[in-house]
Amino acid sequence: MSAENVKKFISFDALPGFLARAAEKNAVYVPRREGNAVVYRSFKAGDEAELGVRPTESCKHVVFPRGEELFSFAREADKEEPGKRRLVLTEASEPGAAVVFGALSCDARGFLAFDPVYNGSGTGGTAKDSYYLRRRNRTLIVVKACKNALNTCFCNWVGGGPASPQGADVLAVEAEQGLVLDILSGEGTAFTESLPAASEAQLAAAAAAVKAAEDSLPKAADVSAAPASLAALFSSAEFWNKESAHCLYCGACTYLCPTCYCFNITDESDGLTGVRLRSWDNCMSPLFTLEASGHNPRPNKADRLKNRVGHKFSYYPSLHSGRFSCCGCGRCIKSCPSSVDIRKIVLDAVKEAANV
Amino acid sequence: MSEQTGATAARPVYKAGTRNPYLPMPAKVIEVITETPTIKTFRVVLEDEQLMRDFTFEPGQVGQLSMFGVGESTFVINSPPTRKEYLQFSVMRAGENTTALHSLQAGDTVGVRAPLGNCFPYEKMKGKDIVFIGGGIGMAPLRTLLLFMLDNRKDYGKIRLLYGARSPQDMAFSSELPDWFGRRDLECTLTIDREAEGWQHKVGLIPNVLLEMNPDPNNCVAVTCGPPIMIKFTLQALEKLKFAPEQIYTTLEKRMKCGIGICGRCNIGDKYVCIDGPVFSMAELNAMPNEL
């Protein structure tokens, strides 16, 4: 830890001005209330950031947009042979710098599940996803620590906590009518340069707030056996039919999940010109793996829920040094229309596999 | 990524100018061969001459063919790396993109992202007898390895090919068959499912003809590809013939988008067909969850 690791402070009164200045140079995303939901929207001077409530969605779309252009294509008239057309491919332009102010700690950890995959680990680093990586590199993340746990929260089961610094450039803890800022990266240092150091009283209040938040989380369940248990239950149709019985395969869980990173690639074209797009995809849909021949390796919702849970708690950990690709945010539980609870599935699997 | 214990924000490595794995290479179609009523073969050359000269791949690797405005799908490069005048892909018309691909004519442009995936372990197969068992369009991936081995003939023992299709009209690569039959260093057996007028070869399902051929499993490798039902019974036949799972190789296909192990749809458990496959030994498949 560097000697410059002095915690800073910003009062809530000063925050709008600070964000407005940041928005002059970056796209700044803050949680904003829209109807019944709290979602990340770009901040303009005069806006109010909704830092007190938990956002309905995660901020993953800032780094991994719901839809983005990979390249455009055009068939242009050939200058030398005007009767002929030449294919021209143009890569999407470079994104600008962005700041997420008020990410949840679990959401920042979500990007840590993306990183090794998009960094090309599967291909030994030869095929890196430049679209993801360049956005990731240019996005500064200010985490706002949670004040308490919801009954759907389980970040502590999977290595997180309400004030986990993992994946954050700056960790903000509410104290004394403002935020105490723990600076965690060089980019975070530059971002908070203009702010004063936090006082002893502010630091003490922040430490107490973190302690209170941590104490509000129920004790973590032990899910260390999950990878082996899920592997052992792969062929148990009975188990997966039971666990998926209520699932409507609507995919709400996948779209709200900070670690769900699957995508589709599609073309849109008006004949001579068009774009190739990538967009979020949903492994709970039967179309996800449907082949042109009509064959589908995961035809039933039980197959698909098994793959989703298996990926997060078994396949991914086996490929990425034991880390779960679940950050415990609980949005999939909170927003599921039929009360499917991934915690229950994982615990049931551990229990069931132990009995086999 | 390092597991984070404390306070630093670790970002993944990214350097500006990193090769974009999603950008296809434009390629010119130089020849279209109508193989069967539903299969066409396309011979393509990368438009960038330098890229074409430098292009390397291994037998069994695949590529994504793009019809700009329609989409992309995955096919094996079925010409061998020993013959580099063009890259050959054979496409069965099944969905939207393959239907669009079938409209291609010589002179048209198509996008190519290749090579992707692993290859047949042709080094490990050196010095062994080889039995190829192909059904229908499943002959395409076998063709690349067969021709590669014929171009490196002394490295391999006896090479046999059993190739079957529903009917003579459904037999792809038929224009090459006389050449293959003419070779003394290749034993060819063809079969169709039902009697057809003028058919000079075997009639019967591939697994049955294979049992009749009765290849000696000793120092032999079987390489098979075809429709799922054929594979199922061919594996049973190979088992009957005492081939061990380690002696049997096949190549899988799955719906794919990225081709580089990210997009998440071709996985079987923690294996991704696009990067860990498409070639697997039977022993490897047996160790994987059953989700073909």
Q: Where are the domains of chain A?
A: 1-66+95-215, 221-356
Interface of A with B in 191-250 (CB under 8 A): 231, 234-235
Q: Do A167 and B96 touch (CB under 8 A)?
A: no
Give B159→chain A minimum CA distance, Å. 31
Q: Give the SS3 label for residue A155.
A: helix
pLDDT tier at A53 (50, 70, 90 boundaries)?
confident
Q: Do A319 and B270 touch (CB under 8 A)?
A: yes
Mutation target vs A (from B68, B99, B268; most A CBs, 10 A cutoff): B68
Interface of A with B in 36-65 (CB under 8 A): none
Residue (of A85, A136, A128) closest to A110 by Cα position? A136
Interface of B with A in 21-80 (CB under 8 A): 21-24, 26, 66, 68-73
Give A46→chain B minimum CA distance, Å. 30
Q: Give the SS3 label for residue A287.
A: coil
Q: Do B9 and A290 touch (CB under 8 A)?
A: no
What single string gives the DSSP state of each residue in B121-177?
Answer: -TTTTTTSEEEEEEEGGGHHHHHHHHHHHHHTGGGSS-EEEEEEESSGGG-TTGGGH
* Predicted confidence (pLDDT) at residue B15 exceeds the cutoff of 80: no
Percent of chain A having pLDDT more than 70? Answer: 99
Residue (of A286, A291, A322, A261) closest to A119 by Cα position? A261
* Predicted confidence (pLDDT) at residue A226 exceeds the cutoff of 50: yes
* Predicted confidence (pLDDT) at residue A231 exceeds the cutoff of 50: yes
Per-residue confidence (pLDDT) for residue A269, from 0 to 100: 94
Segment A162-167 mean pLDDT: 95
Q: Give the SS3 label for residue A327.
A: coil
Give B238→chain A minimum CA distance, Å. 24
Mutation target vs A (from B255, B266, B292; most A CBs, 10 A cutoff): B255
Buried b (16+ CB within 10 A) or exposed e, A184-202: bbebbbebbeebeebeeeb
Q: Give the SS3 label for residue A265.
A: strand
The CATH homologous superfamily for domain B25-116 is Translation factors (2.40.30.10)
- Sign of CA pseudo-dihedral A252, A255, A257, A260: positive
| pTM of the shown model | 0.93
Residue pLDDT, tens place only, A54-75: 999 999 999 999 999 999 999 9
Q: Which residues of A touch B18 (CB under 8 A)?
A: 128, 130, 133
Interface of B with A in 159-218 (CB under 8 A): none
Q: Which residues of B touch A141 (CB under 8 A)?
A: 9
Mutation target vs A (from B23, B29, B270, B288; most A CBs, 10 A cutoff): B270
Q: Which residues of A touch B69 (CB under 8 A)?
A: 73, 267-269, 271, 274
Q: Do A128 and B18 touch (CB under 8 A)?
A: yes
CA angle A343/A348/A354 to nearest 5° reads: 135
Mutation target vs A (from B109, B112, B262, B266; most A CBs, 10 A cutoff): B262
What angle in degrees, to the nearest 10, is found between the helix axes of A130-137 and A105-118? 140
Residue pLDDT, tens place only, A338-352: 999 999 999 999 999
Q: Are A118 and A128 in contact (CB under 8 A)?
A: yes
Per-residue confidence (pLDDT) for residue A1, from 0 to 100: 43
Per-residue confidence (pLDDT) for residue B249, from 0 to 100: 98
In this complex, the residue of B72, B98, B257 whose CB is nearest that of residue A263 is B257
Interface of A with B in 260-279 (CB under 8 A): 261-269, 271, 274, 276, 278
User: Chains A and B: how many Cβ contacts under 8 Å?
Assistant: 177
Segment A298-323 mean pLDDT: 96
Tokens 């090919």 correspond to what residue? B161
Neighbours of B23 (CB within 10 A): 17
* Predicted confidence (pLDDT) at residue B4 exceeds the cutoff of 60: no
Whether A187 and chain B come into contact, CB under 8 Å, resolves to yes
Residue type, A204: A
Percent of chain B having pLDDT more than 70? Answer: 96
Query: What is the C-alpha to C-alpha distance for residues A350 and A222, in angstroms, rounded to an integer?
Result: 9
Whether B291 and chain A come into contact, CB under 8 Å, resolves to yes
Domain boundary assignment for chain B: 25-116, 129-251
* Predicted confidence (pLDDT) at residue B127 exceeds the cutoff of 60: yes
Mean pLDDT (chain B) is: 94
Please report, for residues A6, A184, A188, B7, B253, the alpha-carbon distance to residue A2 in angstroms, rounded to integers and kept in the order given: 9, 10, 13, 10, 51
Q: Which residues of B touch A267 (CB under 8 A)?
A: 68-71
pLDDT tier at B1 (50, 70, 90 boundaries)?
very low
Residue (of A148, A152, A144) closest to A59 by Cα position? A144
User: In chain A, whose CA is at the least distance from the CA of B259?
Assistant: A127
Q: Return the CATH number of B129-251, one of 3.40.50.80, 3.50.50.60, 1.10.3720.10, 3.10.580.10.
A: 3.40.50.80
Q: Contacts by A81-84 with C-beta closer than 8 Å and gap 24+?
A: none
In this complex, the residue of B4, B20, B71 whose CB is nearest that of residue A266 is B71
Segment A310-339 mean pLDDT: 96
Whether B14 and chain A come into contact, CB under 8 Å, resolves to yes
pLDDT tier at A81 (50, 70, 90 boundaries)?
confident
Q: Do B289 and A235 touch (CB under 8 A)?
A: yes
Query: What is the C-alpha to C-alpha distance for residues B85 and A309, in angstroms, rounded to an integer?
Result: 47
Per-residue confidence (pLDDT) for residue B251, from 0 to 100: 96
DSSP A197: B
Tokens 């003028």 correspond to what residue? B198
Segment A178-193 mean pLDDT: 96
Residue A124 burial class via C-beta count within 10 angstroms: exposed 0-12, middle 13-18, buried 19 and up: exposed
Count CA atoms within 13 Å of residue A248 on its CB side.
10
Residue A309 Rama label (left phi>0; alpha psi -120 to 50; beta): alpha
Q: Do A311 and B260 touch (CB under 8 A)?
A: no
* Predicted confidence (pLDDT) at residue A314 exceeds the cutoff of 90: yes
Say whether the peptide bond before residue B26 is cis (omega within 30 degrees of 0). Answer: no
Q: Do A129 and B262 touch (CB under 8 A)?
A: yes
Q: Which residues of B touch A129 (CB under 8 A)?
A: 21, 260, 262
Q: Are A49 and A43 in contact (CB under 8 A)?
A: yes
Per-residue confidence (pLDDT) for residue B9, from 0 to 100: 61
Segment A16-25 mean pLDDT: 95
Per-residue confidence (pLDDT) for residue B17, from 0 to 100: 67
In this complex, the residue of B23, B257, B268 whose CB is nearest that of residue A265 is B257
Whether B268 and chain A come into contact, CB under 8 Å, resolves to yes
Q: Do B264 and A1 touch (CB under 8 A)?
A: no
DSSP A334: H
Give B216→chain A minimum CA distance, Å. 34
Count CA atoms within 13 Å of residue A325 on its CB side.
27
Residue pLDDT, tens place only, B147-166: 999 999 999 999 999 999 99
Whether B258 and chain A come into contact, CB under 8 Å, resolves to yes
Q: Do B9 and A128 touch (CB under 8 A)?
A: no
User: In chain B, whose CA is at the least distance from the CA of A288?
Assistant: B265
Give A183→chain B minimum CA distance, Å. 8
Count CA atoms within 13 Å of residue A282 on its CB side.
15
pLDDT tier at B92 (50, 70, 90 boundaries)?
very high
Tokens 């405005």 correspond to what residue? B69
Give A170→chain B minimum CA distance, Å. 9
Percent of chain A having pLDDT more than 90? Answer: 89
